[in-house]
Every structure is written in C-alpha cells, then in structure tokens.
Structure 1
Amino acid sequence: MAHSSTNTPAAKHVAGPVMPSESELVEFDHSAAGHQGISSNASGSLLIKPCTQAEIDFYESAKDHPLFQAHMPTFIGSLSQHEDQEAVKPLLQEAATTSTVTAAVPNNQDSVDNDNGNAAVADPTSTMPELVKRTSWKPSGGKKLSTGLAIVLENVTAGFKQPNILDVKLGARLWDDDAPQAKRRKLDEVSQRTTSGSLGFRVAGMKLWCGPETTAMVGDQTPKDNKHEDKQEQTQQDNLPNGSSSNNNSNNSPDEPESNVEYKRGYKSYTKLYGQSFTKDNVVDAFTTYLGGVRSDETTGKPVFRRKHAPLIAKRLIRELESIQYSLENEESRMYSASVLMVYEGDESALESALEEEEKERNGQTEDDDQDGRKEEKENEKAEEEEEEDDDDGDDIVPQKVHEVRLIDFAHASWTPGQGPDENALQGVRSLIGILKGLLDE
C-alpha cells in the first residue's frame, strides 16, 4: 500500500499516530450521517475514510491556515493507489455499476466528488492510472465512495465511552462550482424544502446512547408526530418544551416515527429523513432531543433539561461554535456540503468521571503528581523513551473526553484568497449558535 503521512501543528488530540495496515482495520460504527465505507484501526483512535484527491489536498494545505486547521480532525496521512491494487481494495468498496465511457486524463485528476459527481473516477483495479472512467451524475444514496484513495484522520469520537453524535450539514448552497446542472438542481431542491435554505444548516444525522435495553419509544418522533401532546408525558428522554412544535406539521415527515429512527446496540440513530422533516420553526426540537430532552419543572412548570449536565454541554458547544465562527470570519475559503460534527459523552457515569478529571487537571491534582512534580517529570521522560522504542505502545491512548466539535467533510472545500469569508457556511454556524443560546434562555 502506498501511503503518506504528515505531522500537523494542530495535532493536539492524538499523539504519535501510527499508520494502520489493512489487517488492523475494523468497520467504523459511529457515523451519524450514514457515511459508508469508513474503517478504523483496532484501537479506534484513527479513521480511514474513502475520499477524493481534493479533500487530501485541502487537509495538506490546512497547515498554512492554523486558525482553521485547529477545528479540523488531525490529518495523519493518506492511502493511495499502488501497482498492487489488492492493497487498496479492502479499504474501498466499488460504487454502484453505471454505464461508463473511458477517457484519458492527467493523473492529478483521478478523483470524484463525495456524491459521485461528474468528475473523473479512478478505477482501483486498473494498472493504468491514466485511464479513468467518466460517469454521468447520479445521487449516491449514501453508497460507498470509490476513488482508489483514502484519508487517515484522528477519530473525533475516540475518548468517549458512549458518544452522542450530531452531524449538521452547513450551507444553503450545497454544490460547488464544478457540479453538473442535474446535481445543482437536486441539491437546490433539498435546500429549499429543508432548513438548509432557511437557516443555512440541516441535521444530517444523529446518534444517541440510551442503554443496552433500548427499544422503540414514543419520544422518537418527527415534527409531524409531535403534535400528539398526549404522548409527550410518556416520553422517557425526548420530551419537547410545551408547545415548541405541536402545531408545526412538516409535509416531509414520514407517517410513522419509526421510519426516522433505528435501534442498534443501545443507540438510537436518526436518519437523514429526520433532519429533512424539520422547518425553521421547529428544528430546535432536534437539539432538545440531542441534549437529552426536557421535562416540566415540578415547582415552576417551566421546561428544564432532563440531564443534569445538559446546560454545561450546551454552553461548551456554543463556545466551540463561536470559535469556528471567528475562524471562518478571518479566513477566505469556501466549503460546500461540509459539516459540523458535535460529540459529547452519553454515558452519565463516564461523563461525571471525565468532568472530575478535568477538575483535577485544573487544580494540578492528577493522580500521577506529587507535591514537587518530580514524579510527573520522570514519568514524562519514561513515556518519551517508550515512544521512541515502540510507536505502537501507548500512542492510541486517548483521555476521557467531555465534548468535541469539529468541521468535517472537505471534498468540496478550497482556499479562496481575495474572495472574503465563507458566508454560506457562516450562516449555518450563526444559526446553530442562536438556537443553542435560545435553549439555554428558555
């Protein structure tokens, strides 16, 4: 397998990563937006994602934009085509068969967009990389991307016992300048009938930890189903504020709530139809659900969060989003169909433990410290020696996390000097901040 790696200044979450081999890869099971074909190394600290050359180029060039790079997953390296094509096949799955016309193009154009756009698609089984196949654009339907390329990234969900994940797609405009007209029309239609058009973002997917005994519950409802107020009192986790969406009936909502929610291994996974069913007036309900739902206060009758630490999580998400906003306002870039990935610890005991560890670190009272700090210094020296001796030992240890927020999915991203900030993405970020602040104010 041919691969390249890089060390970036923003590598603040994963130290000393090791490029995985094919035999170490396992299926990644925490993709909230339904992306297929993603693998991870055995420890789960790294992700291997099928990608385009454009996305690799964007990650590699991000080192020149440290303000922006700080909000990206750490870029470890890339896996590319090799004369031995069998080395790449385990990473990538063939896309659906389409009628094709073979054309010769330069090697630096052997990539497609993330939605199987009308660009050159490298055939991973070909021994002649200059020969590629061109396809007319068709919606991908979530199928695996097949370009012969993969990117190796820090796994943002590592360090959580049971991560609660929210993937929010940014922008009212979802297509880049190279998109064919058919794709533009399709994505414009999606934008116009969802919150992408009205708020500059759309919930692309959500995955919540509810415990190993999780079964279908009344609370897993689309806006259409939320009009049944008599059911709200039965909800175990996803109750909504009184009147928050009871009169907002989205025409896009499926007839049954179960069509938007899947139950597997203690998780509730909300499909893309869930996010598409919201309007600008009731999309706040998705974030209420993400933070664990609300209940009526016994004394005041006002809605309050069910989870003890939900206000803290919301404040941290806001702070991260404000930092992303600042970065975007001070960069000249464009990204289409990129997302904000939000993660927080869904296991209550693990969350408590992570918060306690944070407090200890703030107070300088970690278990490995003695009063004069000599023990910590010795342990650091020992750790450095072990790292030099064997890169495989200790490198994948990720501390317990409380939350993470990152920008992801840069298949259609570029730096655009002289064109000003990315207002398309900024609209969505500002809307997210406003919604979360509104939840805290209620």
Structure 2
Amino acid sequence: MAHSSTNTPAAKHVAGPVMPSESELVEFDHSAAGHQGISSNASGSLLIKPCTQAEIDFYESAKDHPLFQAHMPTFIGSLSQHEDQEAVKPLLHEAATTSTVTAAVPNNQDSVDNDNGNAAVADPTSTMPELVKRTSWKPSGGKKLSTGLAIVLENVTAGFKHPNILDVKLGARLWDDDAPQAKRRKLDEVSQRTTSGSLGFRVAGMKLWCGPETTATVGDQTPKDNKHEDKQEQTQQDNLPNGSSSNNNSNNSPDEPESNVEYKRGYKSYTKLYGQSFTKDNVVDAFTTYLGGVRSDETTGKPVFRRKHAPLIAKRLIRELESIQYSLENEESRMYSASVLMVYEGDESALESALEEEEKERNGQTEDDDQDGRKEEKENEKAEEEEEEDDDDGDDIVPQKVHEVRLIDFAHASWTPGQGPDENALQGVRSLIGILKGLLDE
C-alpha cells in the first residue's frame, strides 16, 4: 500500500460527558436516515444505539487502526441489554473524562484551500467494563433492532444549535458476504436503480434547519408507497435557512416532491425516497439543497450560493472527505451499507459565533512564547475550575462546532488484511469529492 506523510492538527480538549440518571435517557430525533430506537443522554452528548455484535467488534478492534478510527464516532462502550438502564451507568461514568481530539489528513491539499477546517475526532481510549455479548442480528430494514445489544457512542450532532445533517450511504455493492441470495438480489436492484450503482453512493437522508416558522401545506406525512416521480412539487412558500422565501431558485431540488419531505419543529427532513430518486446527472441538486440552495447573482446573472458561508462549508467537507479517502486507501477493510455523516451548523448566528471562536483560537496561537505560557497556565486553571464545577452540577458542555464528518454504521464492516483497500466504499467517497468540487467550480 502506498503511504504518504500526514499533517496532524493540534490536539483539542473536550470535556467528557457526565453520567445521567435512569430517567434522563431520551429519544434521539436527529437521525437523518430514519434509524429507529436510538436514545441519548439528557445533554445529547452520547447516543445509545441498537446494534449487531459485528458492529461492537469492529469498534473495539478499531483501536488497532488509528488512521481509520480517526473518522469514526468515539466509542464509549457496549451494553448487553438496551432496556437495562443500570447498565448504562458504568459506561457513562467511564466516559466522564477528558478526551484528546486528533485526526490525520492527507498532506496534499492543492485542490482545496486550507481554511483550518481539519478533521477533528475523538480518540476513543476509554477502558470499559466487560459486558455480556449476545448473538448477532439480521437486517431490520431501518426499524428498531431487537438484539439485546446496544452501543454507546458520542453524538456527532452535539455542539450544534441547529445541525444540518446529510447521511450518504457508500458503495455500489450493498450486501455482505454472508447475505442470503434473496437479500443480495433486492439490494442489487436498489443499487442499479439509484446512484449507488452509478456513483457508489446515494443520499440516505437529509435534515435541514429552516426556522421555527416553517410550515407545510402538503407532505407532512410521507406515504411509504409514494415514489419520487409520483408527485410533482406543489407551489409553496418556505422559510429558507437564510430567511428568504422560496422561488424558482430555492434550496429545494427542482422537482422535489413534498410527499418526500417531512416538517417538524423547524426542520425539513428528506426521506430515503428523495435520495433514491436521483440519477448521476441530477444528484448534484441534493448537495445544492444541503448547502442552502443557489440564486442568480444580481450583477453577473451567474448562480451563486444563497448562504454566505456555503463555499467555506463545501471546502471543509471536501477536506474531510479527502482525509477519509486517504484513510481508506491506506487500510485494508470492507464495509457494506456504511455511511458518511456530514453535519454543519444550520443556524446562521450560531455559525457566525462558532467561526468567531475559531478565529480567536487561531489568533491566540500566534502570541509570543511568554504570552502563550501565561495563557496556557490560565486556561489550565480555568479548565480545572470548570471540571470541579462539572463534578458539582453534573453539566456536560460541548464546544460550538462549525462542521463534522464521520463514517458511521458498521454492522457489516471488517478488517481484511491482504485484500487491499475498499474500492467499493472509495468509489462513493471519490464521487462525493468530485460533486462538491464541481459545485465550487460553478
């Protein structure tokens, strides 16, 4: 395998989550692809997700593959019985420590400007108590799993006021080696009629913040038997992320059917039917929508992003995806029906605030050595005080974020020494990079 040098950004320290009581576990409602049965702690910093034994094994073994692990959600531990709330406590107690956040990115970044949008993910080094393991499960079609197993992970959407979320399923081949023939045929059919077959990925789900006043006149519920082409979009005025009303240049795809969009608490959630409808020729529309839409420039008449920071977000997503590409090219693994999860701040004022905080951090790093020393000493004292306060009040604070990109869903993932890189997943990652670069070029 080819190797090249890497840049490792400075480590960041994030306060660990604090153990909740039994009654503080709540339903998680930021699953863009519609996964059921996921819960979180009260602060939202942790997720408890029904899973397979294979997924637990993959997370546990990822410590031996740090390049890959850098792009996974932080693994806290596993539970043998999801409903056993007492079993949650020791895991969350172990998690209530400070984590060091690092990531490796490819050295060659010629195609994308370095805007300090490096990948940054937690290094899961916590030691967890031994837990009973049970037999693995069979696919559930997105419904809640009933395996008696659950995995405890960091919540990638924590740290955002109103996250904009895109779940992209990777691979043209979607089935694992142990899948029965009927399952293989079904998934092959899905691949052939969607962008999975042509581009190596498809949009599995998307959730966009549009503001608390957003309402729908049609399509509040998504009929399960409704196809993308069955219904044309009806005229409707929506509040877009920047507060503008929709028109011919809205952030919706040109033929977005309202039956494939659900409205809830200020969010527009795009169902899997929406993603399955695209072809390789128009799937770019989904990413245009995700980034807030385009409009015609008043002076030049050329298409430009509606959102001020959309180009910056696109550059950061590209950089993260290039880092994932580098990791996959330098690992020997296989994963089927895994996803890339992309998140960025959908609230404009919160995004501005997060960017300002980043700028302050960068400016702080340019001070002279004496100033740096004094600042570090004060920060260490402040961190100790905050840690003591956290111990007292049980609060669990996650810093403001601009964006996150992670690989998720490893129910059908394994390490495959001697078999080379995962070209099935890499096809999708490379296609994603190409589409986002094309948007910037336009």
Fold match by TM threshold 0.5: yes
Evaluate the alpha carbon distance shift between residue 96 and residue 441 of structure 1 in structure 2; reply closer, same or farther with a 3 A threshold: closer
Q: Give the TM-score normalised by the residue count of structure 2.
A: 0.76
Distance (whole Å) between structure 2 residues aligned to residue 341 and residue 429 of structure 1: 12
Partner of 1:217 in structure 2? Answer: 217
- Contact 1:14–1:395 (8 Å) recurs in 2: no
Distance 1:383 1:123 in 2: 19
Rounded Cα–Cα distance in structure 2 between residues aligned with 1:2 and 1:24: 48
Report SS of the residue matched to 1:378.
helix
SS in 1 for 2:76: strand
Can you list the C-alpha shifts for 1:57-101, whole angstroms capped at 9, x where unaligned? 111111110100000011111111499799699999999999999
Q: Contact 1:38 / 1:47 at 8 angstroms: preserved in 2?
A: yes
In the TM superposition, what is the alpha-carbon distance from 1:115 to its structure 2 partner? Answer: 39
Cα separation, partners in 2 of 1:257 and 1:193, compared to 1, 3 Å: same
1:361 counterpart residue number: 361
Alpha-carbon separation, structure 2, partners of 1:132 and 1:107: 42
Cα offset, 1:7, TM superposition: 23
| Cα contact 2:365–2:372 (8 A) shared by 1 | no
> Is the deviation greater in 305-314 or in 255-264?
255-264
Question: Structure 1 residues 119 and 38, CA, compared in 2 at 3 Å: closer, same or farther?
Answer: farther
Q: Structure 1 residues 164 and 399, CA, compared in 2 at 3 Å: closer, same or farther?
A: same
- C-alpha change, 1:120 and 1:406, in structure 2 (3 Å) is closer
Bigger Cα displacement from structure 2, 42-51 vs 130-139: 130-139
Task: Pick closer, same or farther for the CA change 1:385–1:437 going to 2, 3 Å.
Answer: same
TM-score (norm 1): 0.76
Structure with larger Rg: 1
Change (3 A) 1:6 1:426: closer
State the 1:427 CA deviation.
Answer: 0.2
Report sequence identity in percent.
99
How much does 1:21 deviate?
A: 4.8
Moved more, 371-380 or 401-410: 371-380
Which residue of structure 1 lines up, in the alignment, with residue 61 of structure 2? Answer: 61
For residue 392 of structure 1, report the CA deviation from its aligned partner: 7.2
Tell me how large the CA RMSD over aligned residues is.
12.2
1:344 corresponds to which residue?
344
Q: Which runs of 5+ in 2 are unaligned?
A: none
Higher relative contact order (CA 8 A, sep 6+): 2
Question: Taking structure 1 as reference, are residues 230 and 61 closer, same or farther at Cα in structure 2, changes over 3 Å only?
Answer: closer
Which string of whole-angstrom CA distances, capped at 9 and with x for unpartnered residues, describes residues 360-405 of structure 1?
1000089999946535414414534764796575773111111000
**Structure 1: distance between partners of 2:44 and 2:30:** 10
The worse-fitting range, judged by mean Cα deviation, of 377-386 and 43-52 is: 377-386
Contact 2:333 2:421 in 1 (8 A): yes
SS of residue paired to 2:14: coil
Q: Deviations over 1:20-50 (max 9, x none)?
A: 5532201111000000100111111111111
1:300 CA displacement? 1.3
Work out whether residues 165 and 341 of structure 2, in 8 Å CA contact, stay in contact via their aligned partners in 1. Answer: yes
- Aligned counterparts of 2:103 and 2:309: Cα–Cα separation in 1: 56
TM-superposed CA distance for 1:141, in Å, is 3.8
Shift in alpha-carbon separation, 1:269–1:135, aligned structure 2, 3 A: same
Distance change (3 Å), C-alpha of 1:251 and 1:265: closer
Aligned 8 A contact 1:81 1:149 in 2: yes
Q: 1:101 to 1:387 in 2, by over 3 A?
A: closer
The verdict on how the C-alpha distance between 1:436 and 1:114 changes in structure 2, with shifts beyond 3 A counting, is closer
Question: Are the counterparts in 1 of residues 99 and 124 from structure 2 also a CA contact under 8 Å?
Answer: no
Contact 1:170 1:339 in 2 (8 A): yes
Deviation at 1:187?
0.7
Equivalent position SS for 2:29: coil
Secondary structure of the residue aligned to 2:108 is: helix
**Matched-pair contact (CA < 8 Å) for 1:328–1:422:** yes
- Tell me the secondary structure at the aligned position of residue 262 of structure 1: strand
